[in-house]
Structure 1
Amino acid sequence: MKQYAAPDILLESGTNEMEILEFYLEGQSYGINVQKLREIMCFDPAMLTPMPESLPSVLGVYMVRGTSLPLVDLTSHLRRRPAVAPGSESRAIVLVCQFNRKVTGFLVDGVNQIHRINWQHVEPMAPLIEKFKPRFTGTIHVEDREVLIVDLEHIVAEVDPEMNMTFEHESDKCSGSEGLQVREDVGLMLAEDSVIIRLGIQKVMNSAGYGRLKTFPDGEECYRELKRIKEQVNTEAEFLSHVRLLITDIEMPRMDGLTLCRRIREELGLKDLKVILFSSLITDQMAHKCKSVGADTWISKPQISELVELVDTYCLPAGADGQK
Structure 2
Amino acid sequence: MTTQHKQEILLEAGTNEMEIIEFYLGTQPFGINVQKLKEIIPFDQEAVTTIPGCGAGMLGTLLLRGNTIPLIDLKRHLTQKSSAANVDQRRVVLVCEFNNRINGFKVDGVNQIHRISWNDVQPMAGFIDQFRPRFTGSVNIDGREILIVDLEHIVTEFDPEANMDYEIDLRRDLFEEQRPHTREQMKLMMAEDSSLIRAGIERVLKSAGYTSLEVYADGQACHDRLLQLRQEVTNGSNLRDHLQLLITDIEMPKMDGLTLCKKIKSDPLLNELKVILFSSLINEQMSAKCDLVGADGYATKPQIPYLVEMIDSMLDISN
The aligned counterpart of 1:138 is: 137
Q: CA RMSD in A?
A: 2.3
SS of the residue corresponding to residue 176 of structure 1 reads: helix
Question: For 1:247-301, what per-residue CA distance to the aligned partner results, in whole angstroms no more than 9, with x for missing partners?
Answer: 0011110100000000011135423211000011111111111111110011111
- 2:70 corresponds to: 70
Partners of 1:106 and 1:33 in 2: how far apart? 14
Residue 117 of structure 1, CA deviation = 0.2
Q: Which piece of structure 1 moves more, 8-17 or 127-136? A: 8-17
**CA contact under 8 A between 1:100 and 1:281: conserved in structure 2?**
yes
Kindly tell me: are residues 91 and 175 of structure 1, through their superposed partners in 2, closer, same or farther at Cα, counting changes over 3 Å? farther
1:1-324 pair list within 5 angstroms? 8=6, 10-11=9-10, 12-79=12-79, 81=80, 89=88, 92-164=91-163, 165-169=165-169, 172-173=172-173, 175-234=175-234, 238-267=238-267, 269-317=269-317, 319-320=318-319
Task: In structure 1, give the amino acid aligned to 2:288.
Answer: H
Contact persistence 2:135–2:148 (CA under 8 A): yes
> How many angstroms apart in 1 are the aligned matches of 2:135 and 2:264?
27
TM-score of the aligned structures, taking structure 2 as reference length: 0.92
Offset at residue 66 of structure 1 (A): 0.8
Find the residue that maps to 1:146 and give its secondary structure.
strand
Q: 1:49 to 1:8 in 2, by over 3 A?
A: farther
Unaligned ranges ≥5, structure 1: none
Taking a change above 3 Å as real, the CA distance of residues 306 and 269 of structure 1, as seen in their structure-2 partners, is same
Change (3 A) 1:316 1:27: same
C-alpha displacement at 1:77, in angstroms? 1.2
Is the 2:91–2:108 contact (alpha carbons within 8 Å) kept by the matching residues of 1?
A: yes
SS in 2 for 1:243: coil
Do the aligned partners of residues 84 and 140 (structure 1) sit closer, same or farther apart at CA in structure 2, a change above 3 Å counting? closer
Change (3 A) 1:160 1:225: same
In structure 1, C-alpha distance between the alignment counterparts of 2:262 and 2:251, rounded to whole Å = 14
Q: Runs (4+) of structure 1 moved beyond 3 Å?
A: 7-11, 82-88, 170-175, 234-237
Give the deviation of 1:26 after TM superposition.
Answer: 1.4
2: CA distance, partners of 1:173 / 1:196:
24
Which one-letter code corresponds to 1:205 in the other structure? L
Q: How many residues align?
A: 314
Whether contact under 8 Å (1:170, 1:304) holds in the other structure is no
Query: Take 2:236 and 2:302, find their aligned partners in 1: how far apart are those partners?
Result: 31
| Residue segments in structure 2 that go unaligned for 5+ positions in a row | none
| Identity level (%) | 49
Structure ranking higher in helix proportion: 2
Structure 1 residue 54 displacement after superposition:
1.2
TM-fit CA distance, 1:90: 5.5
> Contact (CA 8 Å) 1:20, 1:31: kept in 2 or not?
yes
Shift of the 41–131 alpha-carbon distance from structure 1 to 2, 3 Å rule, reads same
- In 1, Cα distance between equivalents of 2:294 and 2:147: 31
| Stretch moving more, 95-104 or 157-166 | 157-166
* Conservation of the 8 A alpha-carbon contact between 2:230 and 2:269: no
Amino acid at match of 1:280: S
SS in structure 2 of the partner of residue 247 of structure 1: strand
